[in-house]
Amino acid sequence: MRTILILIKKEFLQVFRNPLLLSILVVAPLVEFMIFPFCADYEIKVLNIAFIDNDRSQISKDIIHSFNSSEIFVSKGLLDNKEEADEMMKHDQIDLLIEIPINFENNLYNNENTQIAVTANAINSVKAGIGTGYVQEIIGGYMQDFAAMHTPANMQAAISSANETAAQQKQGQRQAAAVPSAPIRTTNAAKVNISNIYWYNEQMNYKNLIVPGILVILVTLIGCYVTALNLVREKEIGTIEQVNVTPIRKWQFLLGKMIPFWLLGMAEFGAGLIIMKFIFGISVQGSLPLLLGITAIYLFVMLGLGFFISSVSENQLQSMFIVLFLFIVFVLLSGVFTPTEGMPGWAHKINYLNPMSFYIEVIKKIILKGSAFESVMTETIVLSVMAVIINTGAVVSYREASK
Amino acid sequence: MSVSAISIKGVNKTYEGKIEALKDINLDVEEGEVFGLVGPDGAGKSTLFNILTTLLLPDSGQIKVFLMDAVRDYKSIRQIIGYLPGTFSLYPDLSVQENLDFFAVMYKSDIEENMSLIEPIWKQISPFKDRKAGKLSGGMKQKLALCCALIHRPSILFLDEPTTGVDPVSRKEFWDILKSIRQQNITVVVSTPYMDEATRCDRIALIQDGRIIGINPPQTFINNFKGKLYTFKSENIFSLLKVMEQCPLNCNYYPYGEHCHVAFYEDMQEALPKFEAFLQEHHQTYETITPIDPSVEDCFIEIVTHSN
């Protein structure tokens, strides 16, 4: 017991004397919390839009006018021809182009299919997707009103959008293929009104997703990165040899390393929760002890992984690269910032090995949804099993390496 | 008969299946002696040290430290040994006092209890006890490491090249400390690449290419020197080295610091004039050739050349 206590004391002394490590511990969470949630944002606030009106009718004017009432769209005016529009898109002056064809109004009144072409700059595919979505919504809304006023007319308006790839844009082969898709049956649409309610995140606030995600990254960084560097450093400066000749047992040494970093990780997590509450106004919906308990288990997984990495690497550089590699894979697969639903099957299978993906589930469920233990039981069991396996592996490989 | 502190029988160690670091090592270290392991860099000294301190497993052979098996009883061995590794390996970001406290607990030892043992060394570094170990001078670091290695009053102290890179004054001081440690009935096993330090040991083992080529008290090595050793100064050692390849006499020539040493295995009455004639014939300039007593290094060179 005295042995483990002095090991812990030694570790804390070293941490608090290492200005670099200390600044990582203090500055990293602050920077991540203060910058990320405001920057990593999928909300599109401004879309520059231009129009080509080949019809010059009342309806086409009305449609164009309807975009003015939106706060998102900033009109860059009516253009005369496609070439001008191409030029503007090439220079990033417009994000979207709407082309209304000749005889648009006539066709509508005559009950014939007609199309509006929407061209989006898809270099930023998210922006293009959301932009065309908004356009459909606005034009669809207008068509609903129009249909309500002209009930006899059974009209279809099809809006199609052609998202351009970056490659096409480079070659200047910009073509807005006006393929009719998802025609809106205005008569039906007039009757059915869809209203959306977003549960657990009512304002669809992206921060609610990203802030818990940062919490996960923080805990992972402290747990895995710092410990992976720590043990391998003792190898580099040779202190591990000096410790190995003492009668101290391997598990005592590892425990003496784990407890300090486990405590640091928990402290960081606590600080993260406080920042989350008082700066972003996200409070934990579920049980706090449950959240802390599962975080404690997750930290042990990460600590074990960190020690495993440092016992198989020769120097800090090697372990840094391994952690960096794993970290990127973990983050991209876990669903911290991107939804996992779109991933192919094999990626889902890999995710069964990804502790971060289980932990982010727990975090989202407990913090945002207020889930009870029953709904996070699977994740808890998986993380516990992972903790046991990885720590056993760490002890074994550490023994192998030093024997 | 007294118990051997260390008994090594037929130890082999190969790295990565091909580099033979140790070949059939056999040696005994008596309790209470200062035993030196002397050999050039890469001879296998550190490998043998790592095996003796239970940090490395031998491929074959038997090692007993006070009758305990180094492989099976490594835990008990670690209780009774102190180890000073070749490179400074204390925590540079902990203070002198913190390092000592830390290792005292690691060895489950009490500083007060064993202060008498380390007192003479500790007195020299205690004025800096709040300084970070990494900020100490080389000699001070070495003394602190020695304190940490002695804090549990070990029965055997292993020192892996403790004087490498240390200035001559500190080296002498360090050897005096080792003598005083020995008086406390602690067996000292020390390795060094410096042959001149070997005379300070009770017995030495000469090690070369993973093989032990001789174990004796230093004086015995010197007494057993077979050749007749002469020294002289030459202006161009390099050209002399080439010329000596053609020397018809049975002798062994090698540079020794700024001098040249020649060990003759001939009747000197005839050989010396012949040798001088040979040098003059090859236009070599030299100063007076004088006889000299061999050092351990000369013995080492003689044994190595003769075994080839």
Closest CA to A214 of A20, A45, A390, A38: A38
Please name the amino acid found at residue A69.
Answer: S
Which helix (H) or strand (E) covers residue A131, if one does? Answer: helix A125-149
Q: What is the dihedral of CA B286, B291, B296, B302, to 10 degrees?
A: 80
Instruction: Assess if residue A196 is contained within a domain.
Output: no
How many residues are present in chain B? 308
Same domain, A19 and A53: no
Give me the mean pLDDT over the B203-207 stretch: 91
Instruction: Assess if residue A296 is contained within a domain.
Output: yes
Instruction: Assess if residue A170 is contained within a domain.
Output: yes
Instruction: Assess if residue A159 is contained within a domain.
Output: yes
pLDDT of residue A192 exceeding 80: no
List C-alpha distances in Å: A8 to A28, A266, B76.
23, 15, 25
Q: CA-nearest residue of chain A to B151? A: A246
Q: How many angstroms separate the CA of residue A247 from the nearest CA in chain B?
A: 5
Chain B residues within 8 A of A246 when measuring between CB atoms: 78, 103, 106-107
Same domain, A139 and A171: yes
**In which domain, by residue range, is A119 found?**
47-191
- Is the pLDDT higher at A120 or at A162? A120
Give me the mean pLDDT over the B144-155 stretch: 90
The answer, for A19 touching chain B at a CB cutoff of 8 Å, is no
Q: What is the dihedral of CA A327, A403, B206, B261, to 10 degrees?
A: 0
Q: For tokens 């490659």, name the residue.
A: A167
The token duo for B59 is 């491929």
Same domain, A206 and A306: yes
Closest CA to A308 of A209, A245, A399, A175: A399
DSSP bridge partners of B208 = B211
In whole numbers, what is the pLDDT of chain A averaged over residues?
A: 80
Q: How many angstroms separate the CA of residue A253 from the nearest CA in chain B?
A: 10
Q: How many angstroms separate the CA of residue B28 from the nearest CA in chain A?
A: 21
Which helix (H) or strand (E) covers residue B256, if one does? Answer: strand B251-256
Final residue of a structural domain among A191, A223, A251:
A191
Q: For tokens 């970070």, name the residue.
A: B132
Edge-to-edge strands, sheet with A114-121: A73-79, A47-53, A96-100, A114-121, A156-164, A184-185
B106 closest CB neighbour out of A18, A237, A248: A248
- Is the pLDDT higher at A234 or at B18? A234
Position A388 confidence tier, pLDDT thresholds 50, 70, 90: very high
List C-alpha distances in Å: B83 to B114, B129, B197.
17, 21, 19
Contacts with A180 (C-beta within 8 Å, 6 or more apart), sequence order: A113, A115, A158, A160
Q: Which DSSP state fits B2?
A: P
Q: What is the largest CA-CA distance in chain B?
A: 71
In whole numbers, what is the pLDDT of chain B averaged over residues?
A: 86
Q: What is the CATH number of the domain that holds A127?
A: 3.40.1710.10
pLDDT of residue B36 exceeding 70: yes
Q: How many angstroms separate the CA of residue B151 from the nearest CA in chain A?
A: 11
CB B27, CB B78: distance < 8 Å:
no
Chain segment A108-118, per-residue pLDDT in tens: 888 778 888 88
Position A402 confidence tier, pLDDT thresholds 50, 70, 90: low
Chain segment A44-63, per-residue pLDDT in tens: 778 888 998 888 888 888 88
From its phi and psi, is residue A147 left (phi > 0), alpha (psi between -120 and 50) or beta?
A: alpha
Final residue of a structural domain among A169, A191, A213:
A191
Chain A residues within 8 A of B103 when measuring between CB atoms: 242, 246
pLDDT of residue A332: 86
Same domain, A345 and A361: yes
- Lowest mean per-residue pLDDT among A12-26, A46-60, A142-156: A142-156
pLDDT of residue A325: 92
pLDDT of residue B2: 61
pLDDT of residue B13 exceeding 60: yes
Same domain, A109 and A10: no
User: Which stretches of B147-219 are assigned E, i.e. beta strand?
Assistant: 156-160, 187-192, 203-208, 211-216
A246 closest CB neighbour out of B87, B94, B107: B107
pLDDT of residue B204 exceeding 80: yes
Q: What percent of chain A has pLDDT over 70?
A: 85
- Is the pLDDT higher at B148 or at A30? B148
pLDDT of residue A196: 67
Q: How far, in whole angstroms, is CA B165 from its chain's centroid?
A: 14
Same domain, A105 and A23: no
Instruction: Assess if residue A94 is contained within a domain.
Output: yes
The answer, for A2 touching chain B at a CB cutoff of 8 Å, is yes
Same domain, A232 and A173: no
How many domains, chain A? Answer: 2
Position A349 confidence tier, pLDDT thresholds 50, 70, 90: confident
Please name the amino acid found at residue B247.
Answer: C
B90 closest CB neighbour out of A13, A239, A248: A239
Final residue of a structural domain among A191, A217, A239:
A191
Q: Reduced to 3 states, what is the DSSP secondary structure of residue A308?
A: helix
From its phi and psi, is residue B42 left (phi > 0), alpha (psi between -120 and 50) or beta?
A: left
Same domain, A207 and A302: yes
CB B43, CB B210: distance < 8 Å:
yes
Same domain, A163 and A17: no
Give me the mean pLDDT over the B258-264 stretch: 86
pLDDT of residue B265 exceeding 90: no
Q: Which DSSP state fits A226?
A: I
pLDDT of residue A161: 42
Whether A6 and B85 lie within 8 Å, measured CB to CB: no
Instruction: Assess if residue A205 is contained within a domain.
Output: yes
The domains found in chain B, sorted by start residue, are 4-222 (3.40.50.300), 225-307 (3.30.70.270)
Which runs of consecutive H residues, i.e. helices, occur in A172-246? 186-191, 206-220, 227-237, 239-244
Separation between Cα atoms, residue B97 and residue B237, nearest integer Å: 51
pLDDT of residue A302: 94
pLDDT of residue B1: 47
The token duo for A297 is 């288990």
Position A187 confidence tier, pLDDT thresholds 50, 70, 90: very low
Q: What is the pTM of this model?
A: 0.73
Q: Reduced to 3 states, what is the DSSP secondary structure of residue B6?
A: strand
Instruction: Assess if residue A305 is contained within a domain.
Output: yes
Whether B106 and A246 lie within 8 Å, measured CB to CB: yes
Q: Per CB distance under 8 Å, which residues of B are interface residues toward A? A: 53-55, 57, 75, 78-79, 81, 83, 85, 87-94, 98, 101-103, 105-108, 132, 148
- Lowest mean per-residue pLDDT among A120-129, A175-184, A394-403: A175-184
CB A302, CB A296: distance < 8 Å:
no
Same domain, A147 and A209: no
pLDDT of residue A177: 38
> What angle, rounded to 10 degrees, do the helices at A206-220 and A250-280 form?
160
Q: How many angstroms separate the CA of residue A166 from the nearest CA in chain B?
A: 53
CB A224, CB A302: distance < 8 Å:
yes
Same domain, A102 and A226: no
Q: How far, in whole angstroms, is CA B282 from its chain's centroid?
A: 39
pLDDT of residue A350 exceeding 70: yes
Whether B85 and A241 lie within 8 Å, measured CB to CB: yes
Instruction: Assess if residue A252 is contained within a domain.
Output: yes
Separation between Cα atoms, residue B13 and residue B71, nearest integer Å: 14
Same domain, A347 and A365: yes
- Is the pLDDT higher at A190 or at A279? A279
Contacts with A50 (C-beta within 8 Å, 6 or more apart), sequence order: A75, A76, A77, A78, A79, A85, A88, A94, A96, A97, A98
Compute how many other C-beta atoms are within 10 angstroms of the C-beta atom of residue A329. 14
pLDDT of residue A262: 93
φ/ψ of residue B68, rounded to 5: -95, 140
